[in-house]
Homo-oligomer: A and B are copies of this chain.
Amino acid sequence: MTTTRSFALALICTLPLTVTAYEWQALPETAPAPTDNPTTPDKIALGKALFFDPRFSSTGTVSCFSCHNVMEGGDDHRPTSIGVHGQVGGRNAPTVWNAAFHVAQFWDARAPSLEEQSKGPPVNPIEMGMPNLDATLKRIRDIPGYRPLFAAAFQGEDTVTMDNAAKAIAAYERTLITPDTPYDRYVKGDRQALSAEQIKGMETVAAIGCTSCHAGPAFNGATLATGPGLLMKFPVNAKSEYVAKYALTKDRGRYEVTKQDADAQLWRVPTLRNLVYTAPYFHNGAVKTLDEAVRVMASTQLDKKLTEPDVKAVVAFLEALSGNFPEQTMPRLPATPGTLLE
């Protein structure tokens, strides 16, 4: 009996001040990879070079890195991105940090994997503006220095293929993860890792229901294999004042891909990690600050008006989900032959 009581007392002393029913999860230290594309150092090195290389855009000026700035929040801090010839796109660039933990890619989940996602922007006329993937591959082939990098990363006779390029980029992106934030350390048992306000924000997030969509270690609804569901409706509460204020229903989300009414306003759930670094917010980048984004979500999704101290606490908690970016070396890109860009 004595032993049991001591154990119970110890539990009381070491657990957080209040315990919600929600099961908080830390981000894994490595990202899962598909069986046909295991992550290897050679693939990462090649993928990193391709990710940073602007020579695969029609103008030679836009790379993956242009809109997914991994020196900062993995996006471009613009409402919507700018591609070749100054053209402006229609949606806010999602962060590439922790994209490896998404169940699907793009705001409308139209790509099932990082590999497939990487084939989109090069041939998007607004983004990188190449006429087709063959032309993109030719650009890669025209740089002799890429050949040994592909040969080291992949098996086979002619390794310089678009599928291999996509696999390499995905392998690099699987290294772009940010475990071990203050939140993760807290969940793993370091009770000093969060401030009292951050703990209050954490409780609020679970109590009001944010976690019914923003679940799992990346707070993005679904983890790679399991989860509560792929796409969620936004905005749910059509009467929210914010719907008109920020034009939240102008873009119909998944509907724009499928043209099925049932898909209207369905979106992939974005991660809550590193939000401090990724202003402005939402698919249209219409909301400039994190506190306003919290107010918008409470109203549009949960039909709730938070008190300002609650907003502040939730923002403090979101800050605890940010940072700890892995240090990166810059790749050396192979030399440009003289006839690459016509």
**Chain A residues proximal to chain B, CB less than 8 Å:** 52-55, 59-61, 66, 69-73, 76-79, 82, 84-87, 276-277, 279-280, 288-290, 292, 325, 327-333, 335-341
Q: Judging by beta carbons under 8 Å apart, are A69 and B54 in contact?
A: yes
Chain B residue with the shortest CB-CB distance to A288: B338
Q: Which residues of B contact A73 (CB under 8 A)?
A: 335-336
User: Which of B70, B85, B327, B335 has a CB less than 8 Å from the CB of A276?
Assistant: B335
A-B contact pairs, 25 of them (CB 8 A): A52-B71, A53-B71, A59-B78, A60-B76, A60-B77, A61-B66, A61-B76, A71-B330, A71-B332, A72-B332, A72-B335, A72-B336, A73-B336, A77-B336, A78-B341, A84-B86, A277-B336, A279-B338, A280-B338, A280-B341, A289-B337, A289-B339, A292-B338, A327-B329, A329-B330
Q: Judging by beta carbons under 8 Å apart, are B329 and A328 in contact?
A: yes
Q: Judging by beta carbons under 8 Å apart, are B288 and A72 in contact?
A: no
Q: In the complex the two chains form, what is the Cα distance from A208 to B82 in whole Å? A: 48
Known contacts A55-B77, A85-B86: A279-B71 contact under CB 8 Å: no
Q: In the complex the two chains form, what is the Cα distance from A79 to B276 in whole Å? A: 38
Q: Which residues of B contact A86 (CB under 8 A)?
A: 84-87
Chain B residue with the shortest CB-CB distance to A291: B338
Q: Judging by beta carbons under 8 Å apart, are A82 and B70 in contact?
A: no
Known contacts A71-B332, A331-B71, A332-B325: A77-B277 contact under CB 8 Å: no
Chain B nearest Cβ from A272, distance in angstroms: 15
Q: Which residues of B contact A337 (CB under 8 A)?
A: 279, 289
Q: Which residues of B contact A328 (CB under 8 A)?
A: 329-330
Q: Judging by beta carbons under 8 Å apart, are A333 and B71 in contact?
A: yes
Q: In the complex the two chains form, what is the Cα distance from A327 to B279 in whole Å? A: 31
Q: Judging by beta carbons under 8 Å apart, are A288 and B339 in contact?
A: yes
**With A54-B76, A69-B333, A279-B340 given, can you name 10 additional A-B contacts, CB distance below 8 Å?**
A52-B71, A54-B69, A60-B77, A61-B66, A61-B76, A72-B332, A85-B86, A279-B337, A280-B338, A327-B329
Which of A66, A72, A331 neighbours the largest number of chain B CB atoms within 10 Å of its CB? A72
Q: In the complex the two chains form, what is the Cα distance from A48 to B66 in whole Å? A: 17
Chain B nearest Cβ from A203, distance in angstroms: 25
Which of A53, A70, A73, A279 neighbours the largest number of chain B CB atoms within 10 Å of its CB? A279
Chain B nearest Cβ from A265, distance in angstroms: 24
Q: Judging by beta carbons under 8 Å apart, are B61 and A78 in contact?
A: yes
Q: In the complex the two chains form, what is the Cα distance from A155 to B277 in whole Å? A: 29
Q: In the complex the two chains form, what is the Cα distance from A277 to B70 in whole Å? A: 25
Q: Which residues of B contact A276 (CB under 8 A)?
A: 335
Q: Which residues of B contact A327 (CB under 8 A)?
A: 329-330
Q: Which residues of B contact A288 (CB under 8 A)?
A: 338-339
Q: Judging by beta carbons under 8 Å apart, are A329 and B331 in contact?
A: no
Q: Which residues of B contact A76 (CB under 8 A)?
A: 54, 60-61
Chain B nearest Cβ from A301, distance in angstroms: 20
Chain B nearest Cβ from A92, distance in angstroms: 12
Chain B residue with the shortest CB-CB distance to A285: B341
Q: Judging by beta carbons under 8 Å apart, are A290 and B54 in contact?
A: no
Q: Which residues of B contact A55 (CB under 8 A)?
A: 77
Q: In the complex the two chains form, what is the Cα distance from A48 to B249 in whole Å? A: 41
